Amino acid sequence: MNNAALLKRYRLKPHLPRHVAIIMDGNGRWAKKRRLPRIAGHRAGAHSIREIVRLSGELGIEALTLYAFSTENWKRPKTEVGLLMQLLKQYLRSEVEELLRNNVQLRTIGNTEDLPAEIQRELEKAIHATAHCAGLRLVLALSYSGRADLARAAREIAKEAKAGKLDPADITEKTIAQALSTADFPEVDLLIRTSGEFRVSNFLLWELAYSEFHITKTLWPDFRTPHFIRALRDFQGRQRRFGGVESIVGSVMSWAR
Ligand code: IPE
Ligand code: IPE
Ligand code: MG
């Protein structure tokens, strides 16, 4: 349910994106500008996460997927990866209460089995503790790669076919969408990327087929309520055609699943 008073306060129309995905980029540059170590940027970025998660829940957005760590990010210096993992652990430990207060259900996508065992345990705890929450679904993309997810889905589908449970002739877009790690969530209506980079960096390759893109120069640690509202207003001003001719407002695409 949308929060009518909040919509009014932020001068938003009622049709919000059902699912927003964010490439949270620019933490390192934020720190560099301040002559701080990169990890200070990641730490500051956690405050943006807290604010955007709470606001998304209050507004009535159904799902928020945050690109927190890509499979390619394992290539970063060991010290940065280690510190990022520590920060993730701290976030999970300190945020469960806040997630529960805001009725937020935590989920993940990505190769979480690649994460350190203690992070996996913290994740499981937080996912379990918030499983009953019926508000916003917060999806953390961790050790995520869009191509790897598609490859995994292909392997799963091939196994079904080999076992004689599925006729290859019956494989449709829906079969693939349902085998992806995002199968439980609505279509991604809006993709936001901070720090001004015009690329998708292996994020949600299948799911972004008809998403609206909002790219801002704002660095992730500076991205707070006014920036998110601006992105939502930008989305609300778009004409979504989905290849057709009529203007379709908001999230009405239903062909993929
Ligand atoms: C995004 O910020 C956070 C992660 C990828 C984990 P970056 O660390 O990529 O920041 P920049 O792009 O170097 O500024
Ligand atoms: C994308 O940011 C990944 C995350 C935000 C987690 P990167 O900083 O890793 O992407 P590139 O290197 O600019 O493509
Ligand atoms: Mg970056």
39 vs 18, 32, 81, 221, 224, CA distance in Å? 32, 10, 10, 12, 19
Domain spans in the chain, listed from the N-terminal domain onward: 18-146+188-236
Cα 197 to ligand 3 centre (Å): 9
Question: Residue 25 catalytic?
Answer: yes
State the pLDDT confidence band at 2, using cuts at 50, 70 and 90: low
Q: Which one of the ligands is nearest to 48 CA?
A: 1
Q: To 5 degrees, how large is the angle CA 203–CA 97–CA 122? A: 55
Phi and psi of 203, rounded to 5°? Answer: -100, 135
pLDDT digits (tens, 9 = 90+) for 68-127: 999 999 999 999 999 999 999 999 999 999 999 999 999 999 999 999 999 999 999 999
Res 249: pLDDT: 60
Two tokens, residue 186: 């609505």
Phi and psi of 63, rounded to 5°? Answer: -140, 140
Cα 42 to ligand 1 centre (Å): 8
pTM over 0.85: yes
Q: To 5 degrees, how large is the angle CA 144–CA 148–CA 151? A: 150
Does ligand 2 come within 6 angstroms of the Cβ of 178? no
Atom of ligand 1 nearest to the CA of 26: 14
* Domain covering 18-146+188-236 in this structure, CATH number: 3.40.1180.10
pLDDT digits (tens, 9 = 90+) for 33-63: 999 999 999 999 999 999 999 999 999 999 9
Residue owning the nearest CA to atom 8 of ligand 2: 25
Does ligand 1 come within 6 angstroms of the Cβ of 83? no
- Paired sense of beta strands 19-23 and 63-70, if any: parallel
